[in-house]
Structure formats: structure tokens, C-alpha cells
């Protein structure tokens, strides 16, 4: 149950460890540590790849399902406009969902202890 709470806190943009500190300092900008408990959020842009994978997977899944539904239910003469609209919606969704994906990735890395004992942190503490 604690793991689910950590993931939900990350999704909400809160520190997965304490729930009080903020993960983000701007819409996309990530704090390096929690101001409340000192939990490390990232090292040298490390949350980028995991968050991108989450973001791409969810965006492609939504696009695939919506594309199938468009092909099945939209008349052929309107299909091109429907698919163009779907591409626009997917691009906007991807741009907005990326922040949520980054928060989720911070929750995953905190849950798994990915930065505990990392030698790259030795000089920073």
C-alpha cells in the first residue's frame, strides 16, 4: 500500500517520500531534492528517459484505441479529418501528460530506491 501512495504522490507532483515537498519548480522544471525531507528526485536529467517511455506508451495506446474507433465508426469521407484531429489531440496530450509522466517516474525511482547509494551522489552530500 505504501508503494501505491508513493506513486500517487509522484503523479500529484508531491514528494513521493514525505508528500509535502514539491517535485516541480515550474511546469516542466524538476527540483533536484525535496525541500522538506531531502529526498533526491533526479541526477543529471535521469527522469527524462523513463518519463518519455511512460509518456510515449500512454499516448500511443490512446491513439491506437482512438484510431481503431475512428476507422470503425466514422464515415469514410470524414475519416481523413478525424485522423488529422486525432494527431493534433495526441500531440497536445503528449505535451501536457509529460509532466505527469515525470512525476510518476520520480515516484517509481523513489519507490525502488534508485538513487540510494549512487556513487554520483558521494561528492554532493
pLDDT in tens, 100-123: 999 999 999 888 887 765 544 444
Residue 124 lies in a domain: no
Q: Is 125 a domain residue?
A: no
Joined grid coordinates for residue 74: 466514422
Provide the number of structural domains found in the chain.
1
Q: Residue 16 in contact with residue 6, Cβ under 8 Å?
A: yes
pLDDT digits (tens, 9 = 90+) for 9-59: 999 999 999 999 999 999 988 898 899 998 888 766 565 788 999 999 999
Residue 82 lies in a domain: yes
- Other C-beta atoms lying within 10 Å of the C-beta of residue 27: 8
Over range 84-93, report the average pLDDT.
96
Interaxial angle between packed helices 79-112 and 2-11, expressed in degrees from 0 to 180 and rounded to the nearest 10: 130
Report how far residue 115's alpha carbon sits from residue 109's, in angstroms, rounded to the nearest whole number. Answer: 7
23, part of any domain? yes
In this prediction the pTM is: 0.81
Q: Where are the alpha helices (DSSP H) in 1-125?
A: 2-11, 47-73, 79-112
The pLDDT value recorded for residue 32 is: 85
Domain that holds residue 47: 2-116
The answer to the question of residue 123 being in a domain is no
Amino acid at each position: 500500500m505504501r508503494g501505491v501512495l508513493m506513486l500517487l504522490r509522484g503523479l500529484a507532483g508531491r514528494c513521493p517520500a514525505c508528500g509535502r515537498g514539491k517535485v516541480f519548480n515550474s511546469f516542466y522544471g524538476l527540483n533536484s531534492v525535496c525541500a522538506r525531507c531531502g529526498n533526491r528526485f533526479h541526477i543529471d536529467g535521469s527522469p527524462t528517459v523513463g518519463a518519455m517511455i511512460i509518456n510515449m506508451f500512454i499516448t500511443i495506446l490512446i491513439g491506437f484505441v482512438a484510431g481503431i474507433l475512428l476507422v470503425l465508426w466514422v464515415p469514410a469521407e470524414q475519416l481523413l479529418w478525424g485522423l488529422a484531429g486525432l494527431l493534433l489531440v495526441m500531440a497536445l496530450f503528449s505535451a501536457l501528460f509529460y509532466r505527469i509522466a515525470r512525476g510518476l517516474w520520480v515516484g517509481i525511482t523513489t519507490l525502488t530506491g534508485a538513487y540510494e547509494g549512487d556513487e554520483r551522489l558521494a561528492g554532493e552530500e
